[in-house]
């Protein structure tokens, strides 16, 4: 089983007319997520399932990555992936899935989920649009949105 934990891309700032849950990807965020998707495609990454937080910026990140990778399945919204959601519930949701799973979420819960899935008490925060690949419960590599090459962690 491979799990690809992904922090959503850069979003517009919250303001009086836009709540945190309504924040959407900025132009910079959309560009970065597309570049990450192309880098994952070059690395021959595929997804059997895509799970995302219900917040707009996470759903958009999942959709753009799916588009870049030719993913034609359903992008599933998982409420436990929202900011500060119950990561144990998210873990159970993930472990019931297929072989190559993309999981899009937010800090600090996405790094906490990464730590939980690989048996660490702490995991460094993920940058916006960063991907961490777990394979067999271990960190296999990470893809930084600035380097766009999978790197050992």
CA atoms of 144 and 120, how far apart (whole Å): 21
3-state secondary structure of 135: strand
Q: Is it the case that residue 127 has pLDDT exceeding 90?
A: yes
Model pTM greater than 0.85? yes
pLDDT at 65: 98
Contact call for residues 125 and 107 (beta carbons, < 8 A): yes
Q: What are the extents of the domains in the chain?
A: 2-10+20-151
How confident is residue 18, by pLDDT bands cut at 50, 70 and 90? confident
Q: For domain 2-10+20-151, give the fold.
A: Rossmann fold (3.40.50)
Tell me the average pLDDT across 40-67.
Answer: 97
The alpha carbons of the chain give a radius of gyration, in whole angstroms, of 14
CA atoms of 142 and 152, how far apart (whole Å): 6
Which segment of 12-16, 42-46, 134-138 scores lowest on mean pLDDT? 12-16
Provide the strand spans (E) within 93-151: 100-105, 131-135, 138-143, 150-151
In the chain, pLDDT over 70 holds for what percent of residues? 100
56-86 pLDDT tens trace: 999 999 999 999 999 999 999 999 999 988 9
């Amino acid at each position: 089983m491979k799990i690809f934990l992904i922090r959503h891309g850069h979003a517009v700032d919250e303001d009086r007319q836009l709540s945190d849950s309504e924040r959407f990807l900025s132009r910079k965020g959309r560009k970065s997520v597309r570049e990450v998707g192309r880098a994952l495609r070059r690395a021959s990454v595929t997804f059997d399932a895509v799970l995302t937080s219900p917040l707009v910026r996470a759903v958009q990140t999942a959709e753009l990555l799916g588009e870049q990778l030719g993913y034609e399945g359903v992008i599933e919204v998982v409420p436990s992936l929202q900011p500060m959601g119950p990561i144990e519930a998210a873990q159970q949701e993930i472990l019931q899935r297929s072989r190559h799973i993309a999981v899009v979420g937010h800090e600090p819960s996405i790094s906490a989920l990464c730590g939980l899935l690989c048996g660490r008490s702490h995991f460094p925060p993920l940058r916006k649009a960063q991907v961490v690949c777990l394979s067999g419960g271990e960190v296999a590599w990470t893809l930084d949105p600035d380097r766009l090459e999978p790197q050992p962690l």
